[in-house]
Amino acid sequence: MRALLVTDLDGTLLDGDQRIGDASDAALRAIGERDVVRAVATGRSLHSVLRVLRTDAPIDYLIFSSGAGAVRFEAGALEQMLVSRSLDETSVRRAATECVTRGMNVLVHAAVPASHRFGYVRQHGDTDCLDGRIERYRPDARTLPLDDDGGVRWDGPACQVLALPAPGDPDAQHRALSDALPGLHVVRTTSPLDGRSLWLEVFPAGVSKASAAQWLAAHCGVEHRGTYAVGNDYNDADLLRWAQHAAVVDNAPADLRQRFDTVAGHDRDGVADAIARFGL
């Protein structure tokens, strides 16, 4: 039976030095020879992924921007876009303005495949994560103007709206923003820049790592019973729930480790451990 393995990138497949461990690399290459489709699913933009993923990485497909885009990845050659989803202009303005009204720092990312380009609104003083993101992508970052009534100006579609709330209860802030934006998908995740800041990402309804993985399974002719996933954070939860077989690395938050099988941490080749335990 053909199978599909989908792994998160930061904090799962990549170790603390942003490299794939030797054991995980070898395990991924081995299952590729056994008709297992290998995919990475990440919140990073396509541009950002290519800064950390080697061109010879042993994967077949790349799901990026939390499922808003997907491409075939073969020896570093990115073929035609297979999946491309975006928020329409009205939804972008509605979501961004809602976040601004709540006092959040806000980023709007351009549509796939240029989702590394973004505009931002800085509001509260907890700006380390925002400033780090601006510094890293300085040529592609710009401030966003506001209308007289406080609405965010943005023309055209966008990949996502990213909100950086002030410190507080992450679950409560996630629920509140989800309730305020019916018809859109709000994802809670942890910043890969500092490993602690809360991010709330707003996507079109139906956009998620899970939906992209489901599309990929159908595209590759994989039955659901042959689906496997490995993750480490809250934005992997839908993917982990969707897969027939799922595990989290032991650097995942405690509540995720209670809900899913746990394998070795990302600094100890957790993906290789998961592949072995899955019996792939």
Q: How many helices (H) does the chain have, and how many strands (E)?
A: 9, 14
Please give the pLDDT value at position 125: 67
What integer pLDDT is reported at residue 191 of this predicted model?
74
**How many C-beta atoms lie closer than 10 Å to residue 92's C-beta?**
25
DSSP letters for 75-119:
TTEEEEEEEE--B-HHHHHHHHHHHHHTT-EEEEEESTT-TT-EE
Residue closest to 96 by CA, chosen among 131, 125, 79, 120: 120
What are the boundaries of each domain within the chain? Answer: 3-85+207-278, 89-204
In this prediction the pTM is 0.89
Give the CATH class of 89-204: alpha beta
| pLDDT for the residue numbered 79 | 66
pLDDT tens digits, one per residue of 44-91? 988 889 889 988 999 999 999 999 999 999 766 666 788 899 999 999
Would you tell me which CATH number, out of the four given (3.40.50.300, 3.40.50.1000, 3.40.50.1580, 2.30.140.10), belongs to the domain 3-85+207-278?
3.40.50.1000
Q: Quick one: pLDDT at residue 77?
A: 62
- What pLDDT score does 137 carry? 80
* Residue spans of the chain under pLDDT 50: none
